[in-house]
Amino acid sequence: MNGQLALLKATPLMQEPNPVLMTVVPSPFRRWAMVAAFAIFAVLLLRLTLISQPNLFGQGFLLAMSVGSAWMTYSTMRATSHGIELTRHQLRTTDGEILADVENIRHIERGALAFKPSSGFTVRLKQRRKAAWRPGLWWRFGTYVGVGGVLSGGQAKAMAEVLSALEQGLLPDHADWSRD
């Protein structure tokens, strides 16, 4: 084991109290494809609202759906401008919003049949957290945190593996690493 850890020499970054172990950023193609899909849907609904002649309730409904889709376009664009960071103590966004604390993690679900976002994973928490949602990037409801959507599937899987190792206490502390 000491031979494996020799590659992990202490660096100035590792001297920080809570260094970033891993960062996953949205895939540019997936991000813009999702934003474009919402934008096109908003434009089509608005056009349908203007050219169709349904009753007043129908036009109001179409207009509300168009505005909702435009809001989703904006929200998705804002949310996916950030990535997800994993530190020894937290899972957070690159702008600092904490998704979950590592000591609050009960289990990580990443199987094919797990309730998880596309190309991502779900973290089951021990204690409830406030519900929140960043379209295309993550969501949190009760004791569940879903990470994924426009993220690269391979990077998200690697982050889930590292998070699982952290949760189980399998990663050594940087103070234990060789300083040769």
Burial 85-112 (b: 16+ CB within 10 A, else e): bbbeebbbbeeeeebbbbebbeebebee
Query: Which three-class secondary structure state does DSSP give residue 153?
Result: helix
Beta strand 105-109 with 98-101 is unpaired
Pick the closest to residue 84 from 27, 126, 16 (CA basis): 27
Q: Which residue do the tokens 């950030």 mark? A: 82
Reported as a single tens digit per residue, the pLDDT across 134-180 is 998 999 999 999 998 898 888 888 998 998 888 887 776 655 554 54
Q: Of the segments 57-61, 71-75, 99-103, 115-119, which one has the largest average pLDDT value?
A: 71-75
Cβ pair 80, 136 in contact under 8 A: yes
Q: Which residues contact 51 (CB under 8 A, 6 or more apart)?
A: none
| 49 C-beta neighbours (distance < 10 Å), count | 19
3 state SS of 96: coil
Write the DSSP symbol of residue 151. Answer: B
Is residue 99 classed as helix, strand or coil in its secondary structure? strand
What pLDDT, on the 0 to 100 scale, is given for residue 128?
92
- Do residues 147 and 138 lie in contact, with contact meaning Cβ atoms separated by under 8 Å? yes
Q: List the single range of 5-9, 17-21, 88-92, 155-159 with lowest mean pLDDT.
A: 5-9
